[in-house]
């Protein structure tokens, strides 16, 4: 255990130090929910194009929402040791940050299963923010994606977490 009370044994290595996917077959099914968020900082020009819906590539925020959901659903194909999960819900929220300027994307993933959905929420946020970047890069190549983080999670053996 480390100073935060977290077991630091590396569960993705077998007895011969070879990579492995953790066997979750003996775990109980529980409802598991995770929420992650992240921010993309943009220029005022890019921000105004999004808010006015005048970006040349189309509706930026709507596309980012679809990308975030798709990213959450595809996590196991992107992150090698993640289990393929049957998500029951992926919810998104995008907040306009006028003073930054920029946008905060929040993704909540949910399922009933044997393993958590933190990676799905984090991947959803990352893919959604990258989509915003892709759609605005002609206006602003200096955008900064930051503070991608787990906000909270519930369910499973390790219990609840809140930032």
> For 31-45, what is each residue's pLDDT tens digit?
999 999 999 999 999
Residue in 26, 93, 99, 134 annotated catalytic: 134
Domains of the chain, by residue range, sit at 30-151
The secondary structure element, H or E, covering residue 160 is none
pTM: 0.88
Q: Which neighbouring-strand residues pair with 90?
A: 109
Question: By C-alpha distance, which of 159, 145, 69, 151 is closest to 118?
Answer: 151
Is residue 134 annotated as part of the catalytic site, yes or no?
A: yes
Distances (CA, A) of 81 to 13, 34, 46: 10, 18, 36
User: What is the CATH class of 30-151?
Assistant: alpha beta
CA atoms of 83 and 97, how far apart (whole Å): 34
> For 57-80, what is each residue's pLDDT tens digit?
999 999 999 999 999 999 999 998
């Amino acid at each position: 255990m480390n100073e935060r009370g977290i077991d630091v044994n590396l569960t993705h290595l077998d007895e011969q130090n070879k990579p492995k996917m953790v066997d979750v077959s003996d775990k109980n099914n529980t409802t598991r929910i995770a929420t992650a968020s992240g921010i993309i900082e943009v220029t005022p020009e890019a921000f105004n194009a999004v808010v006015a819906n005048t970006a040349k590539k189309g509706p930026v925020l709507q596309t980012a929402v679809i990308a975030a959901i798709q990213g959450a659903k595809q996590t196991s194909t992107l992150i090698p040791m993640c289990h393929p999960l049957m998500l029951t819900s992926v919810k998104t929220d995008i907040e306009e940050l006028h003073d930054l300027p920029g946008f905060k994307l929040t993704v909540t993933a949910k399922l009933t299963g044997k393993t958590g959905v933190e990676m799905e929420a984090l991947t959803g946020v990352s893919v959604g923010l990258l989509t915003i970047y892709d759609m605005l890069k002609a206006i602003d190549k200096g955008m900064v994606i930051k503070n991608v983080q787990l906000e909270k999670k519930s369910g499973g053996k390790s219990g609840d977490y809140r930032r």
